[in-house]
Structure 1
Amino acid sequence: MKNDEIALKNKVMKRKDRAIKKKNKEIKSLLNSNSWKITKPLRKLKSVFKK
């Protein structure tokens, strides 16, 4: 019984790890995109006015 539970939890953890890696890859891709780099000054300007 415990071995089955451990195996199931390991399977769930592996699935979640893959999802996290995928999301991190997407975030990295967005942060390195040209549009993100181009709009950086606008975002900084917005944060200055927000304060």
Structure 2
Amino acid sequence: MQYFAAHLDEARQVVAQCAEGTARGDECANAEQAVIEAEGRERFKKFIGN
């Protein structure tokens, strides 16, 4: 998951591939978790005004 946290664009691509069924396995879960956490951080930053 650390790789995807550092490469969010690639993580989003993997999540899309997983949704299409062209990718699966641990990579899907790791990429999805990285995207969820990154989006959560962004929402938090916007909420506190940073």
TM-score of the pair, normalised by structure 2:
0.49
TM-score of the pair, normalised by structure 1:
0.48
Greater gyration radius = 1
Task: Report the structure, 1 or 2, having the larger helix content.
Answer: 1
Bigger RCO (CA 8 Å, 6+ sep): 2
